[in-house]
Structure 1
């Protein structure tokens, strides 16, 4: 309870808030971190706010906040409109060590030890410049990096009438920002960005972009050699105590699926999460979760509890 209270207090801070540092699940087999979904957090939009302004303020991804608020206008929510701030996440189905990046979710999870998870919104590669999947590691880390754009990126910008400099020295105008991690996959980085509205979108040339304040916090925590696991999991399923949740995101554009394929995939994941047995779930709830793809955990099933009533002697 104490850890959950600390988490709630952290979220109540506005733009000065750091990224989410959350306790790992307190029960073996659980996967949900953050507040229980029924304790969702909302903020009231001001007259000047866009959803993107609110996302940047709370260091959420642009697509993430739009998915969580499907009935709210992205550009003009309106003064007083309640905006949902995602504050609970199912951990990806991957070893809970090092760094795990779930591409459809556009979110990074870092396990500094067995008791904590640190999670950040990220931007990833466009369809034509995909961020690669698979296991790699942090090969190096650089503070105040310089950048020499490769010929392919120079040519692409030139075709759009934009001339890139051949060399960008360290500093705030550098597209890599002030901090960068070099992955074991040649040519790919996790780095800061001076285009913060692109966090939570597919806008990069394959690199992983982070909010400047997030990577400033992240940089000293991560050691060279840290394992990095990049996965593609548009459907996540996991437990919080006796309730099974599903969290769905739109698929990557380059790997589209039909609703029937998503349904079969979800049922397989649900069965595995329930020890190889399919629980009795409401089809309407599952269908809605897979169609809406809100990126928030949806309760599917609750384990029955065996309450034995005491019978008074006659």
Structure 2
């Protein structure tokens, strides 16, 4: 068997996981966090699993797991199939404080104590009249065991589809807001739990941001009223890890479509900005493939020459040591 570049962490799909709490980048100018780039995390699918089952069990989003596994059937991965779980991330291009919500990747980043970054998958508003708004706001309040009085507009929409909503939902497990909710400074919008976990990682809400029940239960005591929230639209992220420049790509939001040429222009501009205003000599084939087939997985596009040379020299030294031991 050929040596693999990836270190595979094999888990069963039934393993219960918790939110990702990751150390900040070691270098001030870096943006990549999580597993080392040469490592990837996988789970082993069971016969009865779908990708959606695995996503819910791993507390990641539906679209997220599908993007990361383009060759795996969504509904029938097959027993023994290795399913990739995203575990390496580029931080959004935004001030590293409070809560950052990047809508295209459907994730929350929370900058906690000691610079640690807590990441959660989320569901967001639909692409019609119920989009999740962009912009800077804050947490204006938090409620445990919230009740819900559906707005008339939502009642009317459900009624048109033959679904009758109650005029009032008391606190409890059957409440669509779940057991925890944060109120945003944007009137009418919340970050809340959900009793429909299959909707996390999809655009199914009326504009609110949905979290897994176990995620928001951990999240709730960490967030104080007044915490800043920055909701951004960044389908292409670029950033460094040591001397390697990475790019992470997601499909554009439906309401802000972009042609391949427009996405290429945006990516090249971001790469140039990240490299102190100079366009690096990048791997163009990887760049094009990442833009045409986004996976949400950071891809290395460029290494500073000194770093690449040191890596090559290190590999040569390792091989020399190995040769001396086998002669």
Measured against the shorter chain, the TM-score band is: over 0.9
- Give the deviation of 1:282 after TM superposition: 1.9
1:135 match: secondary structure: strand
User: What residue is the counterpart of 2:253 in the other structure?
Assistant: 252
Contact preservation (8 Å) 2:13, 2:45: no
1:121 match: secondary structure: strand
- Give the deviation of 1:43 after TM superposition: 1.4
User: What residue is the counterpart of 1:115 in the other structure?
Assistant: 115
User: For 2:192 and 2:206, how far apart are their aligned partners in 1?
Assistant: 12
User: For 1:96 and 1:115, how far apart are their aligned partners in 2?
Assistant: 9
1:130-209 paired onto structure 2 within 5 Å: 130-209=131-210
The range that moved more, 43-52 or 113-122, is 113-122
**1:12/1:246 Cα in 2 relative to 1: closer, same or farther (>3 Å)?**
farther
1:93-112 paired onto structure 2 within 5 Å: 93-112=93-112
TM-score normalized by structure 1? Answer: 0.93
Deviations 1:73-130 (CA, angstroms, capped at 9, x unpaired): 0000000111001100000000000000000000000001342000000000001110
User: For 1:163 and 1:252, how far apart are their aligned partners in 2?
Assistant: 30
- Give the deviation of 1:199 after TM superposition: 0.2
- Give the deviation of 1:304 after TM superposition: 1.2
Q: Does 1:92 align with 2:83?
A: no
- Give the deviation of 1:14 after TM superposition: 5.7
2:112 match: secondary structure: strand
User: What residue is the counterpart of 2:34 in the other structure?
Assistant: 34
User: For 1:239 and 1:164, how far apart are their aligned partners in 2?
Assistant: 49
Q: Does 1:303 align with 2:304?
A: yes
User: For 1:82 and 1:252, how far apart are their aligned partners in 2?
Assistant: 29
User: For 2:52 and 2:13, how far apart are their aligned partners in 1?
Assistant: 18
Deviations 1:230-276 (CA, angstroms, capped at 9, x unpaired): 00000000011111100000000011000000000000000111111
Give me the CA root mean square deviation.
1.7
2:280 match: secondary structure: coil
Which 5+ residue runs of structure 1 have no aligned equivalent? 1-7, 310-314
Q: Does 1:275 align with 2:284?
A: no
TM-score normalized by structure 2? Answer: 0.89
1:68-83 paired onto structure 2 within 5 Å: 68-83=68-83
Which 5+ residue runs of structure 2 have no aligned equivalent? 1-7, 314-327
Q: Does 1:125 align with 2:125?
A: yes
User: What residue is the counterpart of 1:56 in the other structure?
Assistant: 56
1:37 match: secondary structure: coil
State how many pairs are aligned.
Answer: 301
Contact preservation (8 Å) 2:13, 2:43: no
2:292 match: secondary structure: helix
User: What residue is the counterpart of 1:3 in the other structure?
Assistant: none
User: For 2:42 and 2:97, how far apart are their aligned partners in 1?
Assistant: 31
User: For 2:75 and 2:36, how far apart are their aligned partners in 1?
Assistant: 29
1:230 match: secondary structure: strand
2:188 match: secondary structure: coil
- Give the deviation of 1:13 after TM superposition: 9.8
User: What residue is the counterpart of 2:325 in the other structure?
Assistant: none
